[in-house]
Amino acid sequence: MKFIKFALIISLSILFLTSCKENATKTKHKEPVIKKKREYRNFSKKNWIELKSLDTTFIYDIRYAGKNNFVHKKMYPCAKCYLRPEVAQILVKIQSELRNKNLSIKLFDCYRPGKVQKKLWEIKPDPHYVANPKKGSMHNRGLAVDLTIVDKNGKELDMGTPFDYFGKKAHQNYKKLPDTILKNRALLRNIMEKYGLEPIRTEWWHYSYRKKDYPVEQWVWECD
């Protein structure tokens, strides 16, 4: 009986040690995956929303995901629109109101990783158009959007200049424009302000949410 007990303890110990070794090996194998994921370390679903998960009717032309932008370089791995929950929820309300008028929001940019901001600044170090990465932009905080309005055929309303036009003609207070353009800009501005998104002086397409602050983040989204 004593021998059986002894044998049982020995076998259990061997089993325990083997399983520990296995676990250790498993952990070792997992390491590279964790390293690869390190870039997403600040990504918490609670603090970020991909806009299309709330409403699939938005139209996208995320310019930094291709070369059609002022630096003529692809800055994002693919086109995604992530925002802080407050901003995403506001845009859904605005989109719903615009859709009642057979119109829709078209997005040019949403969250922009801090490291992309740094690259943009290196190419255009002009604080009127690109926020200094030391301070960070509202886009780096997930609190700003670049957007316009399109009609039921997806055609952009005439706003007088293209997106990322760096000149007086794109300024909010520039009034030497035909009535239709002024009316289109006013439509965009009024609906944004109605829901708490504020314009900046130099870009008709840029609006941000300033009632809450979030830190600048660096994470980059995964592509499908």
DSSP bridge pairs for 156: 150
Rounded to a whole number of angstroms, the minimum distance from the CB of residue 109 to Zn ion is 6
Which residue from 213, 200, 133, 141 is spatially nearest to 171, judged by alpha carbons? 200
Query: What whole-number distance in Å separates Cα of residue 13 and Cα of residue 41?
Result: 38
Q: Specify the stretch interacting with Zn ion by CB under 5 A; choose among 1-9, 125-133, 156-164, 203-211.
A: 203-211
Rounded to a whole number of angstroms, the minimum distance from the CB of residue 133 to Zn ion is 14
Which residue from 129, 118, 123 is spatially nearest to 216, judged by alpha carbons? 118
Size, binding site for Zn ion by CB under 5 A? 2
Q: Specify the stretch interacting with Zn ion by CB under 5 A; choose among 29-37, 62-70, 144-152, 175-183.
A: 144-152
Total residues belonging to the chain:
224
- Determine phi and psi for 143, rounding to 5 degrees: -110, 5
Rounded to a whole number of angstroms, the minimum distance from the CB of residue 81 to Zn ion is 13
146 binds Zn ion (CB under 5 A): yes
Rounded to a whole number of angstroms, the minimum distance from the CB of residue 165 to Zn ion is 13
141 binds Zn ion (CB under 5 A): no
84 binds Zn ion (CB under 5 A): no
- Determine how many CB atoms are found less than 10 A away from the CB of residue 131: 19
Rounded to a whole number of angstroms, the minimum distance from the CB of residue 193 to Zn ion is 16
DSSP bridge pairs for 33: none
Nearer to Zn ion, 146 or 217 (CB): 146
206 binds Zn ion (CB under 5 A): yes
Q: Specify the stretch interacting with Zn ion by CB under 5 A; choose among 43-51, 96-104, 151-159, 206-214.
A: 206-214
Nearer to Zn ion, 39 or 71 (CB): 71
Give the per-residue SS3 of 66-79.
CCCCCCCCCCCCCC
- Tell me the Ramachandran region of residue 218: left when phi exceeds 0, alpha when psi lies from -120 to 50, beta otherwise: alpha
61 binds Zn ion (CB under 5 A): no
Nearer to Zn ion, 30 or 210 (CB): 210
164 binds Zn ion (CB under 5 A): no
DSSP bridge pairs for 146: 109, 206
Query: What whole-number distance in Å separates Cα of residue 138 and Cα of residue 129?
Result: 12
Interacting residues with Zn ion (CB under 5 A): 146, 206
